[in-house]
Structure 1
């Protein structure tokens, strides 16, 4: 969550990578398994020579694109050799990271804090072509796009852009690996509610002096008066093994969206095994569609600081050995600050592994759920704060208590009372909607991920809500949840680990 104090952060250097070669301890004894009878009338079968390891495949490029540094070659865990072209410092003007042919294998790496543009100064545009892989070696390696600058990372369904860790490139990432590099931070000029400088509130998003310092990076500013601000376009992007605790309570998320405006395109995104949140929105107006969070160690979906936006087709599945809340929503304890948060979600599937409740709503915001599936062994919904459940009209942009329509709950218990809003009060709010199921039995089925997320008979039986009436950004579909059935192609092909036909997230990305 947002720390509103100014902080200066000194990032640790990149840790040395130790590589251990395999020994010959696994050579079998010819007598293993019991007594051996020799037939002297037969010709002994010669022992075949050991098969030498295959040489690396592909041909590394001989040089690096302009604006990057040649730091040698790297051989991936998949046996590919590629030229390592490093990006560092501040990008001013235009820089493109091209996808080069198989005869010139190229991978890109981040060195330290790579910034696009300078806040209040020179602007920058970073363009990343489909199929490109970029890695970081430590928590101090991350990408930050300053206000006024833009990132254009647009992959395709068959050639996603992959941001990942050096360990993953080398084939050393495991199912529970997290926090192996920093992450992506987008800073925009859209309205926010929690100010580190300027007034204590930002009525209607019109105060030019309401700005804040983002989590993680040192003194990076976000917020402003441009609701339609654009930080670029992100589509068909995987972010694997990100997140890093810079200092206690101050972390880099998989993707941080801070003051990002509605002019930003944000669709077809996967964040996998982040040590902090998957995606966290600090204020802003950006919408998002086709978002996948897998194996997140903190909150998969986190919004605060007056975020007002819509998300549809959101799949969040915690891994078996990690995870906190699937969704956390707050406003940093500043419940009277404006713009009041309004987070609208349609066609979501949130699967907890018992780290905590599925959704925790607080901070005096407005929250709307349409065609949702919540599943977990503990509580489904926890709501805190009288301002979160108050009637419409109490604040300038107050829309009332949380809304649930066509929402299917299958948890150990539907609601949680932690000494704040009672179970009875939450139950009344939930039952005010239509086609809601409070104590359902999950029939979710598995694809390849360890926890099930494919709709079964009970989820399919729920009558869906026409979500476009709640927000024109939403599409009307004839099912609840993020995934209709096993034949739903929405997330197939461009994600990792979800389906048997797709790459496992622990596998090294294919470079050539």
Structure 2
């Protein structure tokens, strides 16, 4: 592990190299669709009326918790008065952001890049209590958890933790607002394949000298040899209006998970209206469950750099007239690098506005989809690179071509040949699975969102695959997709924007 002073010298040039090297495989995924506004696909579902905020009286706290700075009061868009307690600098030791009583209304704000712990130095723990709201005022405000430190942000279904923008607090964020503050970056010590040190690739995997500079913040390092590393626990957490372009092709995502180990708990998470990816997994071994991505302007799900993990119950509804792929999967520039990427997904519902393909798989990784639903006004599946579809055993940890089991697709075009892997090749791979439908008729229902996402008769008519056989992390359920029917409460209560147009409403502080 490197101390901070030595690391800044060693990695200064590597940071520039890591960013410039992203071009070939688009590992940095620089929001390709941001400046392109397409017509809203027809037919356009009618969204529910925007809820009218009810004025709420509130008494701001007279002081701020230890470890935060009193920077005055703020009046929220719903009429609450709250004390603004600012967090800045480097958190060492244990800092707790408590949820205070309505007689002590408190909102927390990030000032610049707030770091938890020092890489290779003092550890830090940031604990955020259920119901707490934290905001950033600009793209330069973000939260970064360094290797060896931890974030405990565990809300509840009735009191989620909300990270958002100052505009959202003031009630001025709109349905099309994006990129109003930086985002969250979690750095761990699990294996990666994209090394800034120790050579161009990582043959054999988990080499002690394989580390890299993360996208976004300057000189922040991730990767290591601890697959079960823990960066803390995150649950029932919303991240609204994040994303920021630090430099061309180098952007902060809604949530960046870089080298994060399987000891980390990551469930019941929503990212809304990010200007870059919803979540991007750079290597690591962390799993995720009950993940919602709404209004993302790049890829809702992006994985690369040797990520090996499982995600179940993933709901992604792309930005209207924007967004890139719902999911992009990649690798570093060396497609034979190890550990080879293996991304498994079950019970996902991916809904695209038609800006680009639903999924793009490339870079020589292994990808598996079980019990899932794809819907788009454009194409469903694009696969690139012969390495991505090669047979099992061709590389040291090669699991074979992509796997599709119990997948129901309703797209204008099922498979895409963009001069790489042919439609016939993709179709052969798709047909190797069971209970797959390439050109179905969508019966997804609408729940006051821009696009339908709740299963209808056709989706629920598909026989599900026993996904637990692919990963012990997966639950076996009697339906495909992320949301079974209108009675399915998996994403109700703790998310915004799915069941009402309520993301633009200022969070309740008291």
TM-score (norm 1): 0.89
Alignment match, 2:346? 346
User: CA–CA distance in 2 between the matches of 1:76 and 1:322?
Assistant: 29
Shift of 1:56: 6.6
Alignment check: 8 A CA contact 2:366 2:388 kept:
yes
The structure showing larger relative contact order (alpha-carbon pairs under 8 Å, at least 6 residues apart) is: 2
User: 1:334 Cα shift?
Assistant: 1.8
The answer to whether 1:436 aligns with 2:445 is no
Change (3 A) 1:4 1:163: farther
**Residue in 1 that maps onto 2:241:** 241
1:504 has 2:502 as partner: yes
Which position in structure 2 is the counterpart of 1:6?
Answer: 15
Over aligned residue pairs, what C-alpha RMSD do you find?
1.5
Distance 2:13 2:417 in 1: 29
Residue 85 to residue 409, structure 1, CA distance change in 2 (3 Å): same
Contact 2:206 2:339 in 1 (8 A): no
SS of residue paired to 2:15: coil
1:203 is displaced (CA, Å) by 3.6
Larger Rg: 1
Q: Secondary structure at the match of 1:424?
A: helix
1:386-465 correspondence runs (5 A): 386-465=386-465
Mapped partners of 2:81, 2:403: distance in 1: 52
1:176-187 → structure 2 map (5 Å cutoff): 176-187=176-187
Matched residue of 1:6: which SS? helix
Equivalent residues of 1:7, 1:218 under 8 A apart? no
Structure 1 distance, partners of 2:440, 2:360, is 19
Rounded Cα–Cα distance in structure 2 between residues aligned with 1:176 and 1:8: 34
* Shift of residue 332, structure 1, vs aligned partner: 2.6
Moved over 2 A (4+): 199-206
User: Per the alignment, in what secondary structure is the counterpart of residue 387 of structure 2?
Assistant: helix
Q: Is the 8 A contact 1:4 1:196 kept in 2?
A: no
Say which SS state the counterpart of residue 429 (structure 1) adopts: helix
* Structure 1: runs of 5 or more not aligned: 10-53
Task: Name 2:160's counterpart in structure 1.
Answer: 160
> Using the alignment, how far apart are the partners of 1:185 and 1:218 within structure 2?
12
* Local SS of the residue matching 1:386: coil
Q: Could you report, residue by residue, the CA deviation over 1:180-208 in whole angstroms, capped at 9, with x for unpaired residues?
A: 00000000000000101113332443310
Q: Per-residue deviation at 1:320? A: 1.4
Equivalent pair of 1:417/1:423 in contact (CA under 8 Å)? yes
Determine the C-alpha separation between the residues in 2 that align with 1:72 and 1:285. Answer: 42
Q: Name the CA distance, whole Å, in 2 between partners of 1:418 and 1:313.
A: 30
Q: CA deviation at 1:402?
A: 0.1
In structure 2, C-alpha distance between the alignment counterparts of 1:8 and 1:402, rounded to whole Å: 31
Describe how 1:40-189 pairs up with structure 2 within 5 A: 57-189=57-189
Q: Any conservation in 2 of the 1:414–1:439 contact (CA below 8 Å)?
A: yes
Corresponding residue number in structure 1 for 2:8: none
CA distance in 1, matches of 2:251, 2:239: 16
Matched positions, count: 464
State the alpha-carbon separation in 1 of the partners of residues 485 and 378 from structure 2: 25
Displacement of 1:4 in angstroms is 9.6
CA contact (8 A) 1:8 1:219 kept: no
Q: Is the 8 A contact 2:55 2:78 kept in 1?
A: no
